C-alpha cells in the first residue's frame, strides 16, 4: 500500500513542527515521507495484539528528588546565550495582538 501525502498534510505538519519548506524541499520531503511511511507500514505484518507498548526498556521506577532548594540566582547563566534580551528577560515578538 503506497502512502500519499497531500500538500495540505505537509502544510499542517509544517505548522506543528514550525518549519517552512521551500517548494523544492517540500516535494522532496513529501516523497521521502511517503517512502518512509511505506517502509514503516511493514510493521503491520507483525502481529502485536496484546503486546504492551514499551516506552522504557528497563523497569526502573520512582526516581525522585527531595523538595530542597539548591539553586540560587541563575539569571546570568540563563540569559547568557539570549539572542535578544531586555530587562533581564528574553525579548520576543509580541505574543498577544
Partner 1 sequence: MAKQYETVIGLEVHVELATKTKIFCSCSTSFGGAPNTHTCPVCTGMPGSLPVLNKQVVEYAIAIGLAANCEITRMCKFDRKNYFYPDNPQNYQISQLYLPIARNGYVEIETGDTKKKVRIHEMHMEEDAGKLVHDEWDDTSIVDYNRSGVPLVEIVSEPDMRSADEVLAYLEKLRLIIQYLGASDCKLQEGSMRADVNLSVREMGSGKLGTRTEMKNLNSFKAIARAIEGERQRQIELLEEGRAVVQETRRWDDNKEYSYAMRSKEDAQDYRYFPEPDLVPIVIDEAWIEKIKMMQPELRDEKLARYKKEYDIPEYDARIITESKRMADIFEKAAAICNNPKKVSNWLMVETLRLLKESGMEPEGIRFSPENLAKLVKLTDSGDINSSVAKQVFVKMFEENIDPESYVKEHGLSTVSDEGELLAVLEQVIADNPQAAADYKNGKEKALGALVGQTMKAMRGKADPGQVNRRLKELLG
Partner 2 sequence: MDICSMTALELGKKIQQKEISAVEAVKAALECIEDREPEINSFVTVDAEGALKRAEEVQKSIEEGTIVSPLAGVPVGIKDNMCTKGLLTTCGSKILKNFKPTFTAEAVRNLERAGAVIVGKTNMDEFAMGSTTETSYYGETRNPWNPAHVPGGSSGGSCAAVAAGECTYALGSDTGGSIRQPSSFCGVVGIKPTYGTVSRYGLIAYGSSLDQIGPVGKNVADCAAVLEIIASHDKKDSTSIDRKDYDFTSALVDDVKGMRIGIPRDYFLEGLDCEVKENILNAVKVLEDKGAVVEEFDLSLVQYAIPAYYVIASAEASSNLSRFDGVKYGYRTETYEGLHDMYKKTRSEGFGAEVKRRIMLGSFVLSSGYYDAYYLKALRTKALIKKAFDSAFETYDMIAAPAAPATAPRLGESLSDPLKMYLGDIYTISANLAGLPGISVPVGTDSLGLPIGMQLIGNCFEEKKIIRAAYAYEQTRADAGKGAD
Contact range with partner 1 by CB under 8 A, out of 10-18, 19-27, 33-41, 43-51: 10-18
Could you tell me if 11 and 18 are in contact, meaning their C-beta atoms sit under 8 angstroms apart? no
Which of partner 2, partner 1, none lies near 34, with the C-beta cut-off 5 to 8 A by kind?
none
Find out whether 85 and 79 touch, Cβ atoms under 8 Å. Answer: yes
Distance in angstroms between the alpha carbons of the first and the last residue of the chain: 46
Distances (CA, A) of 43 to 4, 39, 51, 55, 84: 18, 8, 14, 17, 46
Tell me the per-residue interface mask from 10 to 29 with partner 2, x by CB under 8 A, - otherwise.
Answer: x-xxx-xxxxxx---x--xx
Q: Which residues are at the interface with partner 2 (CB under 8 A)?
A: 9-10, 12-14, 16-21, 25, 28-29, 32-33, 35-36, 39-44, 46, 48, 51-58, 60, 63, 65, 77-78, 80-84, 90, 92-95
Amino acid at each position: 500500500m503506497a502512502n500519499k501525502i497531500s500538500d495540505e498534510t505537509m502544510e499542517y505538519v509544517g505548522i506543528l513542527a514550525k518549519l517552512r519548506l521551500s517548494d523544492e524541499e517540500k516535494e522532496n520531503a513529501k516523497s521521502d515521507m511517503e517512502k518512509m511511511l511505506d517502509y514503516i507500514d511493514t510493521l503491520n505484518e507483525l502481529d502485536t495484539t496484546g503486546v504492551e507498548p514499551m516506552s522504557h526498556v528497563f523497569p526502573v521506577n520512582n526516581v525522585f528528588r527531595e523538595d530542597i532548594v539548591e539553586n540560587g540566582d541563575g539569571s546570568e547563566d540563563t540569559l547568557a546565550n539570549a539572542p535578544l534580551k531586555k530587562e533581564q528577560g528574553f525579548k520576543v515578538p509580541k505574543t498577544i495582538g
